[in-house]
Chain A
């Protein structure tokens, strides 16, 4: 069943590539099937109460490859399905209004389905080399999605992204090679049992961490992200920002959770904490300085990535107190951010459809002329800030609480500071929307296209209400302590 989550999108991608005149219909059908499969799989894991493990083709490890779905994987699969479904519904309308070149649409669908299938695989695979291959597919498809942009310098931006992530992949692969040299297994669970503290695993994990940090765009490796995410067409930006970087982040979290505690020194977590601080402060300040809507949203991704990484100082703490709660908070925040960021980029797409430009000044009068989109932008901004009972609020609260319990109060202060900075750039983003709409020509945008970002933003805000279900799901992990 769960293998269908990988095979179905891939199969759909091939069909959409072959029959490119019918690409939209094929892809929407595939997307619907994938969403249903993801829902069934997540429900199954939730019912099961323990991680779902299956060996592909009946081959057991070390030779075979296993898929393992625990609570974290299931949550990421669910987020990918929701965001992916919304983006797929939004895209046909967007391309028919903004672009006239059908070749772009024809290329978008296979690439996006490849990304979707690969992400699903990434969240399920339990084999560090398979994960490398999946990361490479994501990288190639992601760079190819960036060059769908009509801008002249899209190739430069895509190439920069490609070079950075290729370097990251090679660092990761070297880590895989060293780990294999020391322990002769590739399955993460088996590695976690076999791993011994020593310089070899420490070097390997350091290389893998640096490699994945470049892919997840943690400060100071974020420099490729804003131009790539701002330049791409709106649905592509939503995919890149809401989903693609989460793949690398998820993998890094997984590696540290399973392998980090035994083999990395405490200081490594503090270094990541400092980088996270840099990301939050630098990303937020840069976001405030932008005058293009999509660049502002892209810099906000840089800042939010910092929040996700705040769980890392706890994963290596000697006491281990509250460590699991810490990454729970991070995982919930990743989910809330995925929904909110997709909402922001899709709403930016609506602004572009209505006004033909993406400057912040183009949002003048938005609250009068496109109230649904203005509401979506405001609510998604709120979803990033994280008020009480919202998904991000729940995540940040758990993060701060467990940082306190873990005697790392200095990072907990950062959560508060970061939230204030988030509020600041969200207000900067919205400042023109409430100007009276004088002398503004605005094209109408169908309500359907405006509803999609609004629903995503509401989803991000209401995620906090699902707290018991989320915690129940996340408690399903290999350690099993709950």
Chain B
């Protein structure tokens, strides 16, 4: 039961990453997908009548830490993108790095 919900969350999250152009929504979708993975992991701790397996707990806690820090970093980057381009989504195809005009020192 938990596993079905987990796979559902994971799929919705993945779909969101691919389908949503809005950057914050993409990050939220990634979080949703990782919550799905964590739910799946924690549901593997149950092994019949035996006491719960501690390893998935350790994995989920580590995973949450990783997820929080990468979300924070991604949000920082989003705000930087917004400040520099005034847009909150990326072009589908990356813009080519602008060519430096000949004779001009790009670092000065």
- Report whether A167 and B99 are in contact in the complex, using a CB–CB cutoff of 8 Å: no
Query: In the complex, A177→B78 CA distance in Å?
Result: 29
A152-B84, A227-B94, A230-B97 as given contacts; A158 in contact with B77, CB under 8 Å: yes
Residue-wise, chain B 31-74 has the 8 Å CB interface mask toward A (1 for contact) of 00110110011001001000001011001001100100110011
A58 → chain B, closest Cβ, in Å? 18
Name the contact of A173 in the complex, choosing from B34, B90, B97, B102 (C-beta under 8 A): B34
Once the chains are docked, how many angstroms separate the CA of A171 from the CA of B63?
A: 13
A156 and B14 CA atoms in complex are apart in Å by: 21
Residues of B contacting A: mostly: helix
B59 to chain A: which residues have CB within 8 Å? 129, 176-177, 180
Given A140-B69, A173-B34, A357-B106; A180-B55 close (CB under 8 Å): yes
Chief secondary structure at chain A's binding surface: helix
Contact B104 A155 (CB under 8 A): no
State how many angstroms separate the Cβ of B23 from the closest Cβ of chain A.
7
CB-based contact A174/B66 at 8 Å: no
**Contact assessment for A173 and B94 in the assembled complex, using a CB-CB cutoff below 8 Å:** no
Instruction: State which residues 299-327 of A face B: CB under 8 Å.
Output: none
With A166-B30, A173-B63 as given contacts, are A155 and B106 in contact (CB-CB < 8 Å)? no
Query: Hey, which chain A residues are within 8 Å of B78, CB to CB?
Result: 159
B73 in contact with A143 (CB, 8 Å) = yes
Given known A133-B66, A174-B37, A231-B97, contact A159–B77 (CB-CB < 8 A):
yes
Which residues from A are CB-within-8-Å of B85?
152-153, 156
Query: Roughly how many angstroms separate A162 CA and B78 CA in the complex, as a whole number?
Result: 11
Q: Which residues of A contact B23 (CB under 8 A)?
A: 159, 163
Which range holds the interface residue count of chain A? 35 or more
Is B84 a contact of A155 with CB atoms below 8 Å? yes
Contact B44 A181 (CB under 8 A): yes
Pick from B55, B56, B84, B106: contact of A356, CB below 8 A.
Answer: B106
Chain A 264-306 interface mask (CB, 8 Å, partner B; 1/0)? 0000000000000000000000000001100100000000000
- How many residues of B are in contact with the other chain, CB < 8 A? 48
With A129-B59, A150-B107, A223-B94 as given contacts, are A162 and B73 in contact (CB-CB < 8 Å)? yes
By CB atoms of chain A within 10 A, which of B14, B41, B105 has the most?
Answer: B41
Q: Which of B4-19 contact A (CB under 8 A)?
A: 10, 13-14, 17
Asked if A151 is at the interface (CB within 8 A of a chain B CB), the reply is yes
Q: Output the least CB separation between B54 and chain A (Å).
A: 8
Q: In the bound complex, do residue B53 and residue A184 qualify as a contact, i.e. CB atoms below 8 Å apart?
A: yes
Q: How far apart sit A160 and B81, CA to CA, in the bound complex (Å)?
A: 11
Contacts of A175-198 to chain B: CB distance below 8 A? 176-178, 180-181, 184, 186
Contact (Cβ within 8 A) B100 A181: no
Residues of B within 8 A of A100 (CB): 107
CA distance A362 to B81 in the complex (A): 30
B94 A295 Cβ-Cβ under 8 A: no
**Distance between B25 CB and nearest chain A CB, rounded to angstroms:** 11
Contact of A136 with B by CB under 8 A: yes
A136, A223, A292, A359: the one contacting B66 at CB < 8 Å is: A136
A357 contacts B44, C-beta separation under 8 Å: no
Q: Which residues of B contact A98 (CB under 8 A)?
A: 107
Residues on the B chain within 8 Å of A295, using CB = 96-97
How far is A152 from B69 in the complex, measured between Cα atoms in Å? 24
CB B49 to nearest CB in A, in angstroms, measures 15
Given contacts A159-B74, A180-B56, A224-B94, whether A170 and B102 have CB atoms under 8 Å apart is: no
Known: A156-B81, A177-B40. A162 touches B74 (CB 8 A): yes
Q: A62-B55, A163-B23, A174-B36 are in contact. List 9 more A-B contacts (CB 8 A).
A: A151-B98, A155-B81, A156-B90, A156-B95, A159-B90, A177-B44, A178-B40, A292-B99, A359-B102
Chain A interface residues (CB < 8 Å from chain B):
62-63, 98-100, 129, 132-133, 136, 139-140, 143-144, 147, 150-153, 155-160, 162-163, 166-167, 169-171, 173-174, 176-178, 180-181, 184, 186, 223-224, 226-227, 230-231, 291-292, 295, 356-359, 361-362
Could you list some 19 contacts between A and B, CB below 8 A?
A133-B62, A140-B73, A143-B73, A151-B98, A153-B98, A155-B81, A159-B80, A160-B94, A162-B70, A162-B73, A163-B17, A166-B70, A167-B33, A169-B70, A180-B41, A184-B44, A186-B55, A224-B94, A356-B106
Instruction: Mark B residues whose CB is within 8 Å of A.
Output: 3, 10, 13-14, 17, 23, 26-27, 30, 33-34, 36-37, 40-41, 44, 47, 53, 55-56, 59, 62-63, 66, 69-70, 73-74, 77-78, 80-81, 84-85, 90, 93-100, 102, 104-107
